[in-house]
Structure 1
Amino acid sequence: MSPVNPVGRRQALAVGASLLALTAVGACSSGHSAAELKVTGAYIPQPALADMAAGYFTVTNTGGTDATLTSVTSGFAASITMHSTTDGRMRTADSFAVPAGGKLVLSLGGNHLMLMDLKRKPLAGEKVSLKLHFRDADPITVPVPVKPAGYQPGK
């Protein structure tokens, strides 16, 4: 029987431990453990007023981790607030959850954005850029089309 080389054994153990760690990192990053967000159906109806507009969209999370929409910014508006609507009552919201495997829907009569102090009144056919900021996910910049007043998706 040949003697065990302690240095060689330590190197082999170190290499084995490194490979195990890399495999674990790869498994976490290649699976659906992170939030995977996609924004669809975004639009802003052409507003009646020159300084205020509403915004709507859907965020779908196909990942395995919840995300939270914490704010929305745009060079087009001085401020953008998020509003929840429950039982016909509108309230300012600090954030909106985007559950793993679920959706966040902002829609007419429901949760929505309010864009305040607009640089100018947006017209139907234009696009406004919104940047969505999330906890637990990277920001997403969305080109949002301005639709005619009274626009209703799917109709």
Structure 2
Amino acid sequence: MRRLTAAALAVAGALTLAGCGGSGGSGGGADLSVDSAYMPQPVSDMAAGFLTITNDGDTGDRLTSVTSDLGEVTVHETVDGAMQEVEALDIPAHGSLVLESGGNHLMFEQLKQRPKQGQKVAVELRFDRSDPVTVEIPVKPATYTPKTGH
């Protein structure tokens, strides 16, 4: 019985690891992590979200969409001071995608409620190649500016 359990765990572990690498060639896939996430407390029915997605893998990926129970979420880029919705943003191999105030960011619209400072907003980040990642974004004061990272 122990051998059967150990074998089942080994197979389950191998399948889990196989799914973590994303699609890629012999060099490996994307290896994504998310940090520095925050949302300034919204003052209207719109809000912005900021975070950094780091790719330690050998294959680039793309952030293609974001969903949240809070409302509609779109991905925006800022070029020459003008923001516009985009279909995707690149996450280079061995690099990062930084979503920051004044730059690329997440835009929350038609909020079902306005989260307050200290609460967290769950979002699911979807990618071109990698499995979705769920992130809890902490709500900061409306005037919050990060000291490091962004």
Interval containing the TM-score (normalised by the shorter chain): 0.7 to 0.9
Q: Does residue 140 of structure 1 match 2:112?
A: no
CA drift of 1:32 comes to 5.6
Greater strand content: 1
Q: Write the mapping of 1:56-75 to structure 2, written as runs, cut at 5 A.
A: 56-75=50-69
Q: Write the mapping of 1:1-155 to structure 2, written as runs, cut at 5 A.
A: 33-49=28-44, 51-77=45-71, 79-154=72-147
Q: Where does structure 2 lack aligned partners over 5 or more consecutive residues?
A: 1-17
CA drift of 1:91 comes to 1.1
Higher radius of gyration, 1 or 2: 1
CA drift of 1:133 comes to 0.2
CA drift of 1:56 comes to 0.4
| Moved beyond 4 Å, runs of 4+ | none
Q: Counterparts of 1:47 and 1:125 in 2: how far apart (Å)?
A: 12
Q: Counterparts of 1:32 and 1:44 in 2: how far apart (Å)?
A: 35
Percent identical across equivalent pairs?
A: 48
Aligned residue-pair number: 126
- TM-score, with normalisation over the residues of structure 2? 0.80
Q: Counterparts of 2:121 and 2:27 in 1: how far apart (Å)?
A: 31
1:71-109: CA deviation from partner (whole Å, max 9, x where unpaired):
0001111x1111110111111111000010000000000
Q: Where does structure 1 lack aligned partners over 5 or more consecutive residues?
A: 1-24
Q: Counterparts of 1:40 and 1:32 in 2: how far apart (Å)?
A: 25
- TM-score, with normalisation over the residues of structure 1? 0.77
Q: Counterparts of 1:60 and 1:145 in 2: how far apart (Å)?
A: 19
